[in-house]
Each structure stands twice: as C-alpha cells, then as structure tokens.
C-alpha cells in the first residue's frame, strides 16, 4: 500500500520571506566563493602570515575552549543545582559577554588585566606576568567572550536532567563528586559536546576583544579573523583565502555536530 | 526490631507524622491514596528527605535525629532502593548499573563487576549483562534495579511502586518472582504500592496511611475484616458504614436505620460485602430485616459479575451476576429494591483501634 502523506504547503507570504532569508544568507558565501582567486589559493594560505594566523587561531581557540570547560562547567553546576542569594545576578553576569559588543569587552579586559589594570598591575609588578600583546592575552579575550555559550548550554542541560538519577546514585553510595562525574556528566554528554563546539567556534571567530585587549602582533596575537581584517586592506585575495579557510572549518564543525550530537538533543 | 522509625516531616504544606517499625526479614507494604505521603516516607528512610522531628534507627544505629543533630547522608546508609521507573543509568550497561553501588562504596572495579555478574545471574539475567537499559523489557529492568539495590548488601530495602511501570499482562509473573527474591532478603523491607494485590502477594503486613497519618495496619486478613476508613474499605472492595448502635439498631448519620445481629452500643462501623446485598424489582417478601427502595447510580461490568452503585438513602455497592443485570434490566437511574440480612452486616467498634 502506498503511503500517503499530507503535503504541507506553506502560505505564499511565508514562502516569499523564507526565500529572501535563504538568499540573504547565501549571497555573501557565494560572493566569497566567486571572488576567490583559486590559482593563488595555496600560496595565499601557505605564506608565513597566514600560517602563523592559522596556527595561532587553533592554539588560542583550543586553549579558550579548555579553560571554558574547566571554569565554566563547575559554575554551570552551581547555577543549576544550588540556591543562594544573588544567583540571578551571577547568571546575568555570565551572560553579559554574549550581549556586550566584543570591543567593549576588550576595553573592560584592558582596564582589568592591562599593564595599568586593577589586576594587571600587581600581576606585572610582582610576577612579571603581562597579558597585553601576548598569546595568553588572546586566549583570555577569547575565553571571556566564548565561555558564556558553554555555561548556558550546560546549565540548561543540568536543569532539564531528572535529578532523581542523582538521588539514585547517592542511594547506591556515591558521594557528590562521584555522582557528578559518573552520572550527571555522562547524562548531559550530548549538550556538553554541543556547548563545547559552540564555544570553540565562538573563540575561533573572536575579533573585537582580541584586537582591543591583546593587540595585533603576527605569531603572537594575530589570529585568523585579525589577519583577514588586515589583509583586506593590503591584498584582498589573501583575505578571501583566509576567509575560505575559516568557512571550511565552520562547515566541518556544523556537519559533524548535526549528525552526531544535535540529533541526540532533539531526537 | 531492625528498622525503628518515628517519622515527622514537613514538606511545604504537607505534614507527615507516623511510627513505622519493621523486623528483620519482614516485608511491610505501605498503601495509601495519591498524595498520602508514601514516597515521602521512603525518601526520609533513604535520607533523601531529612526529618523535621522524630528519629530513625536501623539496627540500633541512629540515621536521623534532628534533636540530636544526627543526619547520616544517603550515600552512607545501608539502604537499597528500587525507585519508581527504576532509574537505571541510561548510559551504563546492566552489569555496570549493578556494579555502580559496590564501586561507589570502594570495592575494586574487577571485584565489583564480579559481584554484579553474580547478581544478574541470580536474577536469571546473565545474558542481559551488556544490554543498555533501553534494550530491557519492563520486567527485566525491574530485576536489574532490584539487583542494583541488593548488590550493596543493604540492611533496609525500599521499593517504590515496583509494579507500577509494568504491563498488566506480566504483572502476575513478576509479582511471583519478586516475592521469591524478597524471601531470600534478610533485612527489613518497605514496599510502597497502591495495589492491594501486590501487597497481598508480597507483604507480611499492610501499613495504610492517609494524609501523612497511619490509619490502619495489620495482616491482610486483619485489615480486610476490619476496615477503618472509606479508602481501606474501597481498596478491599467492601461497603463501610458508620453509625450509633442502640441494641440491634444502627442509626446512620443521615438518620437511616439498619437492623443488625446486635446488641451493640456506641459508635460502630458496619461492613457489608457487596455480594451480600440482593436486588429486586419488586418489594421482597420474607426474611431480610433490611429492605429499602432506591435507584441505580452506576453499573460497572467486570467479566461475568457486575457492581451496582446504589443511590440514596444508603450509598452502597451491590455485586450481582451480569446475567442478573440483564434479567432485571438495570440501567442508570432505574428504580430498584435492595435488601441485606441482619446477620450479614459485620459490626465493630469505631472508637478504638
């Protein structure tokens, strides 16, 4: 017997707007592809500036992702599982970097961790640690901007998790740390992976806070987005080549996520 | 006494206050309507809900005593629990679920796994060791959950509605199996249920609570023959009436009088089995002392029997054959005569336990 499905034909107006949206999103990518100078692509991507930017971007974004995991997951747990005065204030604080213009974030970081910053000055005077114009500064800027994505995703997952599983673990003799490690974390694994990927993608694309706070030094703080912006003013085809590299990385992440993890959240 | 519980707990506006003692090897079934505090009671025993007053002792060790400021956390209580819906960890295999308890209590991984395999074997589930919970049937999941609870060698076993998640078709065999497994358990066992069949098949004693208070306890026989609340009577399928006795007459709250095999005096309960109430289309002649005219409120067919709910003046349920329903032409609203013999009304005191 043939299966009959009711065809869902959207209203005309909806169709028009949906089409406009697709065109709007696709045109810039098409522009990127058509403007690319394919013959010089390889040499553009292998020149020292590009290689340095690519390497630095990977290193900084991975560090930022790691830091976000180590610092963000515990905070997500505290926000999801405990109740204390000022919790909503802290939650607002963690989301702030998402809504703040990254340049403002960079200025704020400069005032806190710069050479004359409230924390930066003692750090420099006592330990000789300097974040500005250093790779550590780029990592710091990326972490500041990207970590909220992880906190929000993990907190939401912990909230929607059935806490009776944690009670079952306690009943079986597991302390709070064991319960967290062997029950809570594995049970929110899909969200944890999705949040990690989002965080990494955000860190990889970070521009404003990095250039404001860490500066723009090749091999030290000049990540891919910074290199793209600078190349655009000198030779456009290098900028396009670097943009294509970023685009390729993003597509790989999106495709692998959709198949394996986003599906697990919304079956 | 193995478990000695003097439970006082307040959760929001709900207040529970009762005393529960369970001997070694004894299985107590806690029954009660929804919201009566059955699960809350289990949670206090497991340490998931602290007491607000009273004291819980297991084998002479204090687990919870707010006055003495003693509260043993759940992970350090020798107490296994089978949760409602079982709550098997979905990311772990059956054997890893069972090994979770011993491992959390410091047993080396290899030894914990060996213990877990033994438990699954004992439950007849050795071939399901590597299965994930979603691959198990309801009955299998229940037995893995039981193995997981028993693998920690608890002194107190708590079962929260162990049958509720099962299909009606397999309940009978799972119930039989559970009784068999619990017989081998030497500690105290408390099982929450709302099904008197489970309680009757598995438990040594019934403990019935309503609104956080104990209303009645005893063996199935004791509770069935002397129900003390409407809920208990309904659970056992009996009609319960309350009134003031004066000699052989029992005057109900609305003034209706029943003739009993008295003499009695004072506040009394009267129990009438539904099958002892006879129904007629015309006023019956002859021996029954209690005969009244009423109308049919509801009719429920149960196989070849039918339960007929009667309207005012005495709202009781009569049980007759399905054939009789057809013969008498009984439908909702139909006028009918009811009668019951004085000797078939069981009367006992209402004002003491």
Helix, coil or strand: residue B72: coil
pLDDT of residue B131: 92
Angstroms from B299 CA to nearest CA on chain A? 41
pLDDT digit string, tens, across residues B272-298: 888 888 888 877 776 667 888 788 888
Answer yes or no: is pLDDT of A185 > 70. yes
pLDDT of residue A263: 45
- Residues of A within an 8 Å Cβ radius of B: 162, 164-165, 167-175, 178, 182-183, 186-187, 189
Q: B87, A165: Cβ pair inside 8 Å?
A: yes
The pLDDT confidence band at residue A60, using thresholds 50, 70 and 90, is very high
Among residues A68, A63, A71, A60, the alpha carbon closest in space to that of A211 is found at A60
pLDDT of residue A124: 84
Distance between CA atoms of residues A207 and A212, nearest Å: 9
Q: What's this model's pTM, rounded to 2 decimal places?
A: 0.80
Answer yes or no: is pLDDT of A7 > 80. no
Distance between CA atoms of residues B56 and B68, nearest Å: 12
User: Looking at beta carbons, which residues of chain A come within 8 Å of B101?
Assistant: 172-173
Q: B48, A175: Cβ pair inside 8 Å?
A: no
Which of A167, A171, A187 is nearest residue B91 as measured by Cβ atoms? A187
pLDDT of residue B195: 84
Chain B residue closest in CA terms to A190: B91
What ipTM was reported for this prediction?
0.81
Q: Which of B42, B104, B165 to mutate to test the interface with A (most CBs of A within 10 A)?
A: B104
Residues near B13 by beta carbon (within 8 Å), at least 6 away in sequence: none
pLDDT of residue A33: 87
Which of A164, A178, A183 is nearest residue B83 as measured by Cβ atoms? A164
Average pLDDT over residues A35-47: 85
Q: Which of B40, B73, B75, B109 to mutate to test the interface with A (most CBs of A within 10 A)?
A: B75
Answer yes or no: is pLDDT of A1 > 50. no
Q: B100, A189: Cβ pair inside 8 Å?
A: no
Answer yes or no: is pLDDT of A267 > 70. no
pLDDT digit string, tens, across residues B298-346: 888 888 888 888 877 788 888 888 888 878 887 888 888 888 887 878 8
Distance between CA atoms of residues B198 and B171, nearest Å: 9
pLDDT of residue B183: 86
Which of A164, A174, A186 is nearest residue B104 as measured by Cβ atoms? A174
User: Looking at beta carbons, which residues of chain A come within 8 Å of B79?
Assistant: 171
Task: Kindly list the distances between the CA atom of residue A153 and the CA atoms of A76, A79, A157, A189, B225, in Å, as whole numbers in the listed order.
Answer: 9, 12, 6, 11, 58
User: Looking at beta carbons, which residues of chain B come within 8 Å of A178?
Assistant: 104
- Residues of B within an 8 Å Cβ radius of A: 46-48, 73-77, 79-81, 83, 87, 89-92, 100-101, 104-105, 148-149, 152
Distance between CA atoms of residues B160 and B57, nearest Å: 20
Which of B74, B91, B149 is nearest residue A170 as measured by Cβ atoms? B74
Residues near B227 by beta carbon (within 8 Å), at least 6 away in sequence: B216, B233, B235, B236, B238, B240, B269, B271
pLDDT of residue B310: 81
Average pLDDT over residues B89-107: 93
Tell me the pairing of strands B188-193 and B27-31.
parallel
Chain B residue closest in CA terms to A173: B75
Q: B100, A172: Cβ pair inside 8 Å?
A: yes
Least confident of A44-53, A83-92, A231-240, B256-265: B256-265
Reported as type and span, the H/E element at residue A114 is none
Angstroms from B132 CA to nearest CA on chain A? 14
Answer yes or no: is pLDDT of A261 > 70. no
Q: B101, A178: Cβ pair inside 8 Å?
A: no
Q: At what angle do helices A48-81 and A236-257 cross, to 10 degrees?
A: 40
Answer yes or no: is pLDDT of A254 > 90. no
Cα diameter, chain A: 81
Q: A172, B104: Cβ pair inside 8 Å?
A: yes
**Total number of residues shown for chain B:** 353
Least confident of A71-85, A87-101, A201-215, A231-245: A231-245
Q: B89, A174: Cβ pair inside 8 Å?
A: no
First-to-last C-alpha distance (Å) of chain A: 28
Task: Kindly list the distances between the CA atom of residue A74 and the CA atoms of A41, A164, A196, A199, B12, in Å, as whole numbers in the listed order.
Answer: 43, 20, 14, 16, 30
Which of A165, A167, A172 is nearest residue B101 as measured by Cβ atoms? A172
Tell me the pairing of strands B27-31 and B205-210.
parallel
pLDDT of residue B288: 60
pLDDT digit string, tens, across residues B6-41: 899 998 888 999 999 999 989 999 998 888 889 999
Share of chain A above pLDDT 90, in %: 53
Reported as type and span, the H/E element at residue A19 is helix A12-35
User: Looking at beta carbons, which residues of chain B come within 8 Å of A172?
Assistant: 75, 80, 100-101, 104-105, 148-149, 152
pLDDT digit string, tens, across residues A141-184: 999 999 999 999 999 999 999 999 999 999 999 999 999 999 99
């Amino acid at each position: 017997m043939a299966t009959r499905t009711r065809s869902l034909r959207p209203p005309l107006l909806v169709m028009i707007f949906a089409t406009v949206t697709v065109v709007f999103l696709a045109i810039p990518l098409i522009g990127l592809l058509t403007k690319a100078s394919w013959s010089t692509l390889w040499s553009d991507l292998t020149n020292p500036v590009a290689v340095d930017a690519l390497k630095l971007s990977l290193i900084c974004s991975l560090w930022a992702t790691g830091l976000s995991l180590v610092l963000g997951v515990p905070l997500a747990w505290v926000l999801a599982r405990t109740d204390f005065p000022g919790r909503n204030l802290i939650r607002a604080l963690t989301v702030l970097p998402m809504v703040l213009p990254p340049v403002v974030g960079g200025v704020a970081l400069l005032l806190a961790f710069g050479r004359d910053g409230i924390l930066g000055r003692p750090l420099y005077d006592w330990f000789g640690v300097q974040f500005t114009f250093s790779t550590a500064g780029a990592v710091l800027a990326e972490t500041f901007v990207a970590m909220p994505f992880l906190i929000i995703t993990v907190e939401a997952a912990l909230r929607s998790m059935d806490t009776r599983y944690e009670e079952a673990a306690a009943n079986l003799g597991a302390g709070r740390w064991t319960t967290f490690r062997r029950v809570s974390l594995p049970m929110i694994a899909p969200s944890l992976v999705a949040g990690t990927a989002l965080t990494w993608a955000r860190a990889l694309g970070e521009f404003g806070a990095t250039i404001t706070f860490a500066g723009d030094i090749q091999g030290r703080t000049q990540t891919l987005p910074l290199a793209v912006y600078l190349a655009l003013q000198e030779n456009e085809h290098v900028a396009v080549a670097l943009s294509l590299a970023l685009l390729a990385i993003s597509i790989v992440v999106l495709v692998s996520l959709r198949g394996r993890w986003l599906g697990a959240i919304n079956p | 006494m193995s478990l000695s519980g003097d439970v006082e707990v307040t959760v929001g506006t709900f207040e529970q206050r009762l005393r529960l003692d369970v001997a070694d090897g004894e299985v107590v079934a806690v029954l009660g309507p929804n919201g009566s505090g059955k699960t809350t009671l289990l949670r206090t025993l497991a340490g998931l809900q602290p007491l607000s007053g009273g004291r819980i002792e297991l084998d002479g060790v204090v687990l919870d005593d707010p006055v003495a400021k003693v509260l043993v956390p759940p992970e350090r209580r020798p107490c296994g629990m089978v949760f409602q819906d079982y709550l098997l960890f979905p990311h772990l295999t059956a054997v890893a679920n069972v090994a979770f308890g011993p491992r959390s209590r410091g047993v080396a991984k290899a030894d914990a796994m060996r213990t877990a395999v033994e438990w699954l074997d004992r439950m007849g589930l050795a071939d399901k060791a590597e299965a994930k919970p979603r691959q198990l049937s309801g009955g299998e999941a229940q037995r893995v959950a039981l193995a997981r609870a028993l693998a920690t060698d608890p002194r107190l076993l708590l079962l929260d509605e162990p049958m509720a998640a099962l299909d009606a078709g397999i309940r009978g065999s799972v119930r039989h199996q559970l009784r068999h497994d619990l017989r081998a358990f030497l500690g105290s066992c408390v099982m929450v249920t709302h099904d008197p069949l489970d309680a009757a098949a598995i438990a040594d004693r019934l403990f019935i609570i309503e609104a956080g208070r104990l209303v009645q306890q005893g063996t199935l026989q004791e509770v069935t023959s002397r129900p003390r609340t409407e809920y208990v009577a309904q659970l056992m399928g009996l009609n319960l009436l309350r009134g003031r006795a004066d000699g052989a007459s029992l005057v109900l709250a609305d003034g209706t009088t029943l003739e009993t095999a008295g003499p009695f005096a004072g506040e009394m309960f009267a129990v009438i089995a539904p099958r002892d109430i006879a129904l007629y289309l015309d006023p019956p002649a002859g021996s029954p002392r209690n005969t009244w005219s009423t109308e049919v409120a509801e009719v429920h067919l149960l196989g070849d029997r039918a339960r007929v709910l009667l309207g005012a003046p005495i709202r009781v349920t009569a049980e007759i054959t399905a054939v009789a329903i057809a013969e008498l032409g009984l439908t909702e609203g139909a006028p009918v005569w009811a009668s019951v013999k004085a000797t078939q009304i069981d009367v006992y005191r209402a004002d003491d336990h």
